[in-house]
Amino acid sequence: PANAFPRIQIEPPFMPPPEECAKRSAENQGVELSIQKRVDVRVAGMESDSDTSDLYGWIKFSDSAPVDSLGLALFSDAFPPSIFSKLGRVGWVPTVEITVQVRNLPKAGWIMGHFFTDDLQNGSMIETGRLWDSEGCLVAQSRQLALIKQTSEN
């Protein structure tokens, strides 16, 4: 049986509750995103010039609809790019490829996210993401290849 194996799980990070985090918006993102109408993303302390490329935050559907495996896939690509926490808003960062492993279906409530870029070279980046439900259960992990397309403002 599945429960005969020991459980090894990545613990969720400590961060402020969603109501104390900045809501993702066109103003703080630097671009209007249509996805912002469907999801409520709260970012915990994303500051450019950070020593790391870690981004932490919360996400849920704007209408508080339940989250299924497709919702987890969407949420894995709905946060601002984690590289913004190191370099600031560098421009458009389109996803080239993303893999999402759904580990569990989440309990109701906000989903916590942690994303980090651990490989940046030649205008492309690799980002790793993890999502936990409201009870601290790891529900999804992602790995993404994205391009960094600088805007004319940069």
Q: Which tokens go with 46? A: 């994303």
| More confidently predicted of 85 and 35 | 85
Q: What integer pLDDT is reported at residue 1 of this predicted model?
A: 60
pLDDT in tens, 27-66: 655 656 677 789 999 999 766 556 779 999 999 999 999 9
The pair phi, psi for residue 148, each rounded to 5°, is -110, 110
Q: Which tokens go with 94? A: 């389109």
pLDDT band at 26 (very low <50, low <70, confident <90, very high): low
**Which domains are seen in the chain, by residue range?**
38-150 (2.40.160.210)
**What is the arithmetic mean of pLDDT over 76-90?**
89
**What is the arithmetic mean of pLDDT over 109-113?**
98
Q: What integer pLDDT is reported at residue 85 of this predicted model?
A: 87
CA distances from 147 to 18, 37, 69, 89, 97 (A): 29, 24, 26, 13, 10
Average pLDDT, the chain: 88
Q: What percent of the chain has pLDDT over 70?
A: 86
pLDDT band at 154 (very low <50, low <70, confident <90, very high): very low
Nearest one of 68, 77, 80, 81 to 139, comparing CA atoms: 68
pTM score of the predicted model: 0.88
